[in-house]
A and B are shown apart, each in its own frame.
Chain A
Amino acid sequence: MRKFITAYSVLALLFCFQIVFGTDVSAATESVGAMDGLSTLWNFTGFANVDYHNLIMIGVGLFFIFLAIKYDYEPLLLIPIGAGILLGNIPGADAYGVYAKDYLLSLVANGQLEADQVSPSVLEYLYFGVSKGIYPPLIFLGIGAMTDFSSLISNPKLMILGAAAQIGIFATFLGASALGFTPQEAGAIGIIGGADGPTAIFLSSKLAPHLMGAIAIAAYSYMALVPVIQPPIMRLIIPKKERAIKMKPPRAVTKTEKILFPLIALLLTTFISPSALPLLGMLFFGNLLKESGVTERLADTARNSMINIVTILLGVTVGASTQANVFLTTDSLKIFGLGALSFIVATAGGLLFARVLNIFLSKDNKINPLIGAAGVSAVPDSARVVQQEGLKTDPNNHLLMHAMAPNVSGVIGSAVAAGIMLSFLL
């Protein structure tokens, strides 16, 4: 924390340069030649163009990086996003960010630039994958290739918990509508409750591109904070006696079942929600690559190299899209508030449904209601939180494998929900 404060103090000190020297050096000097060059150089630097909004966002970026390194909260996401926030908020670098084209076109409109001089920046090219919804399906391909659905297949009734936790999406949709967002914006905000970053980016790129930065940051931040948000809700809703329930070990799953799962699930879910095809299609395709046993090379690429590359590009560009002028708005604050609410509602929904489900189950087949919390996607963090909470109650009660079932069904559920939102609102 001390290092973070030191780094931020240095930045604040640099900001003071502007106050000392002013924003326009050319006004202070009348000399020509070298001084003119220097003044032009000064006017192009970040120090001359810095604004406190930029500093706030740079602080947010540094905080993300700090959280990732110090507390190990989703470092694979928070470090690229944090670095992206820094890139997107360098003062005076509007011509090189993800919104470069918009900025250059505004210069053309003002007559400061010729139309043929408008050429997109590298970051803008990379951002194309986010704005056109290309990266999320590729991430889903990788997730499919690394996910083992065995726990789900061995105990399919746990899949319902994944559906129950999706109440977070629809409750937030309702809440956002009540706060005055348009139905499209409310749908995009609601998907934060799905606790699934790629799905949130995919849906917001279609329904509310102007809110995508805030939605993506909210979704990833709360996903990183799952170990902080979920445990108190679990302890509040589930009595200690029920937290100690031991579940039967999952049965062995045959290879045929594992191969049939992606095929059947692909056909069924995309028949029900065709708009979710880019996500669900890629998810189950990736899983088929893994389970078929004959395309190991492809599965290996999808779950390692490819998903790593796409995660880097997605993280950096989403981070860079949070330029202070488009991000620091009251709407963003509302989105963050609704996002927190959606995570709480989704967790509570999964837990309560698990308790209700237990009423109908025989004494031998009771489920530990804690696993309901894993229904909010956030793979595999929420399953890990369930395992830790289970161990706190009974050090011999391992719930990880059981929690993975609602966890992966939550991914399917949130993608189906995104498809439904698209069908209704697009």
Chain B
Amino acid sequence: MTLLSVESSTWTITILGWAIVFIALLFLVIIFLTVPKLIRWASNRKIKVVENGQEVVKSYNDISGETNAVIATALHLFFNESHDDESNVITIKQVKKRYSPWSSKLYGMTNYGFPHNVSKQNRYSRG
């Protein structure tokens, strides 16, 4: 039961398998080291401008993380502080109470002598 007793195919799978994982991720590394360069190259081509008869390349890709964070925070604050337009009328509107048997005083608990049956002491002890 030692590693030497293991079949050769097991060793092949081990070495080859790990190598393939490495190669797959190495490809991704290479691609994603190249992609930003391609994007930068493409965007630089777009913003070539002519100043005083000479072609000048203006790049806005080198904005640091801190600058981005400041811009993002400013935008966040701006959007969170803005309110909906309100009517500016802050007086309390009078609410008309329409009749409903659900809120009718006639059918209220008082009609059944509810508070009168409660002893004086209990009545005053309520909040």
Name the one of A160, A173, A175, A254 contacting B13, with C-beta atoms under 8 angstroms.
A173
Task: Determine if A413 and B25 form an interchain contact, defined as CB atoms under 8 angstroms apart.
Answer: yes
- Does any Cβ of B come within 8 Å of A322's Cβ? no
Tally of chain A residues near chain B (CB < 8 A): 48
Known: A251-B65, A256-B39. A420 touches B20 (CB 8 A): yes
Bound: A169/B14 CA distance, A: 9
- Does any Cβ of A come within 8 Å of B10's Cβ? yes
Bound: A249/B68 CA distance, A: 13
**Binary flags per residue of A152-184, CB closer than 8 Å to B gives 1, else 0:** 110011011011101101110111011110010
Bound: A268/B63 CA distance, A: 30
Name the one of A152, A159, A174, A413 contacting B14, with C-beta atoms under 8 angstroms.
A174
Known: A174-B10, A177-B6. A156 touches B32 (CB 8 A): yes
Bound: A274/B31 CA distance, A: 19
Main secondary structure of the interface of A (DSSP, over half): helix
B89 smallest CB distance to A (angstroms):
37
Known: A166-B18, A173-B14, A268-B24. A153 touches B32 (CB 8 A): yes
* CB neighbors of B among A399-426 (8 A): 409, 412-413, 416-417, 420-421, 424-425
Task: Determine if A173 and B25 form an interchain contact, defined as CB atoms under 8 angstroms apart.
Answer: no
Task: Determine if B11 and A252 form an interchain contact, defined as CB atoms under 8 angstroms apart.
Answer: no
- Which residues on B sit within 8 Å (CB–CB) of A268? 24, 27-28, 31
Known: A160-B22, A416-B24, A421-B17. A173 touches B32 (CB 8 A): no
- Does any Cβ of A come within 8 Å of B110's Cβ? no
Task: Determine if A264 and B31 form an interchain contact, defined as CB atoms under 8 angstroms apart.
Answer: yes
- Does any Cβ of B come within 8 Å of A257's Cβ? yes
Main secondary structure of the interface of B (DSSP, over half): helix
Task: Determine if A177 and B18 form an interchain contact, defined as CB atoms under 8 angstroms apart.
Answer: no
A208 smallest CB distance to B (angstroms):
15
B90 smallest CB distance to A (angstroms):
36
**Binary flags per residue of A121-144, CB closer than 8 Å to B gives 1, else 0:** 000000000000000000000000
- Which residues on A sit within 8 Å (CB–CB) of B1? 178-180
- Which residues on B sit within 8 Å (CB–CB) of A180? 1
Interface pairs (16), CB distance under 8 Å: A153-B32, A156-B28, A163-B26, A166-B18, A169-B17, A173-B10, A173-B17, A174-B11, A178-B2, A183-B9, A252-B68, A256-B39, A260-B35, A268-B31, A412-B25, A421-B13
Enumerate chain A interface residues (CB-CB to B < 8 A).
152-153, 156-157, 159-160, 162-164, 166-167, 169-171, 173-175, 177-180, 183, 186-187, 249-252, 254, 256-257, 260-261, 264-265, 268-269, 272-273, 409, 412-413, 416-417, 420-421, 424-425
Enumerate chain B interface residues (CB-CB to A < 8 A).
1-3, 5-7, 9-11, 13-18, 20-29, 31-33, 35-36, 39, 63-65, 68
In the complex, besides A162-B25, A254-B36, 7 extra interface pairs with C-beta distance below 8 angstroms are A164-B22, A177-B7, A187-B13, A257-B32, A260-B35, A273-B20, A416-B20
